[in-house]
C-alpha cells in the first residue's frame, strides 16, 4: 500500500487519526495505536512478510539490550571487546538478511553467467517492502547504542514504535532512534503541529499525483521506445521527465511521511532541500535524500577514515560509499554504475574542479550540475547498461539530427504545462510550495487551502484509476 492510494486515504488514515484522538493523550496508548496501525498498514501490502518485520524488530531490540548491558561494564571509557564483537555480529546478521532477500538472485544469476557448468537455476525472490530502509534503521540503532549516543536503557514500547512507525517504514526517510525517542516518549496533543502535518501530507500528495505521475507517463514512453524511433528530442524530453519524476515522487513521499509523523506528534528532519539548485555534485548530496547521505557519512564514510586521512584514501572512501549507495538502491549493474559515476564526480571535484566551479557564474555551475544529474538519472532508470549506453549516446547525437527529426512522444498540452510547472518549482522554489519544517511549523492557512483544493483533483485522479507507482518502493 502507498500513501497516495484511496485505501490509505479513506481507511488507514482515518482509523489512525480516530484511535489516536480517543487515546486520551496517554503516551502509552498512543504508541500502541501507532504500532497496531503500522502493522495493519504493512500487512495490507505484504501479508506474510509482516512476520519477518516483527522478527527483525524483536531481535534488534534484544541485540540493543545486549549491547547496552555490555557497555555498562566498560572501564576507563574504553569500549569492551565483547561489546564491539557483539555489535559487529548483530550488524552482520541484519546485512545477511538484507542480502538474502535483495541480492541473492543477483549474485547467483551472475555466477551462473560466469560458470554455466555449475547449472545454477536461480529465481528471483519477492523483495519485502521497505527492507532496505528498516535494515538501515536497525543498523543505526545498534551502532548508536554501541557508541553511547543512546544513553538511556531502551524501552520495548518506544523501540517498537520507532521501528514499526508506518510513516517511515517502507520508503524512509531513514530516521534514527536517538532523534525520535524523546518525541515518542513525550507525545502531547499539539493542534498546530497536527494542522501542519495535514498540510504537509497534502503537499506531498499533490506533488506525487499531479507532477510525478504525469512525468512518469512521459518517461516510460521515452525509455520503452525503440532507439530507431526515438529522436534526440524524445530522448531529452524523456530524461528531463524522469529527472522531475524521481524528485517529485520521492520528495512527495517524504513530505507525506513527515506530515503523517507530525499528525502523530513526532517531528522528523527534512529529507530534501531544493537539490536541483545545486552548483556541484557535492552540494547536491547535501540537498538530496539527506537522510541517506548522512547515514552513509556517519556509519560508513567516517568509520573508513573520512577525509582525515591521505588524499588517496579519501578518494577511495568516497568511491566505496557511493558504490554501496548505488548497490543499496537495487541489485542491478545500472545502480552500481550510477553510484560509481557520482563517486567519481565527487573525486574529480575534490581534485580541484570545485574551485573552478566556485569561480564560475552560479548559472554555469548549476547548468553543469543539472546536465550531469540528468545523464546520470538515465543510468538509474535504464534496465541494463546496454540500454543506458544507447540512450545516453542518443542524447548527444546532435550530428545525426535530420531536418525531419521531430517529437514522437505523444505529449498533451496539459502534460507540457505540468512539465514546465515542475521545472519552475524545482528551480525556483516558492514559499507556497514549502511548508517549512515540523520544528518551525510555517505552513500558512493560504497554503493549506491551496493544497486542499489541489488534493480534490488528486483524489479524483486516483478515483478514475490512474497509474500510481512509487519509485522508492522498489528499494
Q: Which positions ≥6 away from 443 have C-beta within 8 Å?
A: 195, 196, 199, 200, 435, 436
C-alpha span between 57 and 135 (Å, rounded): 10
Residue 29 to residues 19, 20, 50, 400, Cα–Cα distance (Å): 9, 8, 22, 67
Q: Which of 281, 275, 215, 219 is nearest to 251 (CA)?
A: 275
Instruction: Please give the full DSSP string across 445-460, using - where no structure is assigned.
Output: HHHHHHHHHHHHHHHH
Contact by Cβ (8 Å): 138, 56: yes
Instruction: Give the alpha-carbon dihedral of 229, 234, 239, 244, to 10 degrees.
Output: -130
Residue 42 to residues 36, 59, 161, 202, Cα–Cα distance (Å): 10, 18, 14, 21
Selecting among 329, 342, 362, 428, the annotated active-site residue is: 329
Q: Three-class SS of residue 264?
A: coil
Buried residues in 66-104 as b, exposed as e (16+ CB within 10 A): bbbebbeeeeeeeeeeebeebbeebbebbeebbeebbee
Buried residues in 355-368 as b, exposed as e (16+ CB within 10 A): eebeeeeeeebbeb
What is the enclosing helix (H) or strand (E) of 251?
helix 232-263
Handedness of CA 73, 79, 82, 88 (dihedral sign): positive
- Residue 400 DSSP symbol: G
- Count CB-CB contacts under 10 A for residue 398: 7
Contact by Cβ (8 Å): 307, 453: no
Reply yes or no on whether 329 is catalytic: yes
φ and ψ of 127, to 5 deg: -90, 110
| Catalytic residue positions, numbered | 329
Amino acid at each position: 500500500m502507498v500513501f497516495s492510494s484511496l485505501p490509505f486515504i479513506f481507511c488507514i488514515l482515518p482509523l489512525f487519526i480516530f484511535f489516536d484522538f480517543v487515546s486520551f493523550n496517554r503516551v502509552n496508548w498512543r504508541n500502541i495505536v501507532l504500532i497496531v496501525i503500522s502493522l495493519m498498514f504493512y500487512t495490507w501490502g505484504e501479508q506474510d512478510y509482516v512476520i519477518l518485520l516483527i522478527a527483525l524488530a524483536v531481535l534488534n531490540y534484544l541485540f540493543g539490550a545486549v549491547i547496552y548491558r555490555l557497555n555498562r561494564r566498560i572501564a576507563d571509557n574504553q569500549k569492551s571487546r565483547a561489546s564491539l564483537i557483539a555489535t559487529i555480529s548483530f550488524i552482520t546478521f541484519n546485512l545477511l538478511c538484507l542480502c538474502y532477500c535483495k541480492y541473492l538472485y543477483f549474485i547467483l544469476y551472475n555466477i551462473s553467467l560466469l560458470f554455466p557448468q555449475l547449472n545454477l537455476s536461480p529465481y528471483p525472490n519477492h523483495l519485502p517492502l521497505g527492507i532496505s530502509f528498516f535494515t538501515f534503521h536497525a543498523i543505526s540503532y545498534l551502532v548508536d547504542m554501541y557508541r553511547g549516543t543512546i544513553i538511556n536503557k531502551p524501552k520495548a514500547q518506544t523501540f517498537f514504535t520507532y521501528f514499526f512507525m508506518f510513516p517511515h517504514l517502507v520508503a524512509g526517510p531513514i530516521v534514527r532512534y536517538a532523534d525520535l525517542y524523546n518525541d515518542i516518549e513525550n507525545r502531547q496533543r499539539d493542534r498546530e503541529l497536527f494542522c501542519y502535518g495535514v498540510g504537509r501530507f497534502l503537499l506531498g500528495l499533490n506533488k506525487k499525483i499531479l507532477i510525478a505521475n504525469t512525468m512518469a507517463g512521459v518517461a516510460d514512453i521515452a525509455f520503452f521506445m525503440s532507439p530507431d524511433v526515438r529522436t534526440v528530442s524524445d530522448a531529452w524530453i524523456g530524461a528531463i521527465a524522469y529527472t522531475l519524476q524521481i524528485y517529485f515522487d520521492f520528495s512527495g513521499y517524504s513530505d507525506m511521511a513527515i506530515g503523517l509523523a507530525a499528525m502523530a506528534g513526532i517531528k522528523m528532519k527534512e529529507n530534501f532541500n531544493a537539490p536541483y539548485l545545486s552548483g556541484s555534485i557535492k552540494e547536491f548530496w547535501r540537498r538530496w535524500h539527506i537522510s541517506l547521505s548522512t547515514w552513509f557519512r556517519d556509519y560508513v564514510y567516517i568509520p573508513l577514515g573520512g577525509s582525515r586521512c591521505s588524499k588517496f584514501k579519501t578518494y577511495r572512501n568516497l568511491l566505496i560509499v557511493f558504490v554501496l549507495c548505488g548497490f543499496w538502491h537495487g541489485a542491478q549493474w545500472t545502480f552500481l554504475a550510477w553510484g560509481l559515476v557520482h563517486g567519481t564526480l565527487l573525486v574529480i571535484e575534490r581534485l580541484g574542479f570545485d574551485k573552478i566551479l566556485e569561480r564560475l557564474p552560479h548559472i554555469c555551475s548549476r547548468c553543469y550540475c543539472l546536465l550531469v544529474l540528468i545523464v546520470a538519472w538515465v543510468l538509474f532508470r535504464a534496465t541494463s547498461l546496454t540500454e543506458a549506453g544507447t540512450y545516453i549516446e542518443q542524447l548527444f547525437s546532435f550530428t545525426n539530427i535530420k531536418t525531419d527529426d521531430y517529437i514522437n512522444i505523444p505529449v498533451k498540452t496539459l502534460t507540457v504545462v505540468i512539465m514546465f510547472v515542475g521545472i519552475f518549482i524545482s528551480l525556483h522554489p516558492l514559499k507556497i510550495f514549502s511548508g517549512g519544517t515540523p520544528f518551525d511549523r510555517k505552513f500558512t492557512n493560504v497554503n493549506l487551502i491551496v493544497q486542499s483544493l489541489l488534493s480534490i483533483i488528486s483524489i479524483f485522479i486516483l478515483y478514475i484509476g490512474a497509474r500510481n507507482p512509487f519509485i522508492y518502493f522498489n528499494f
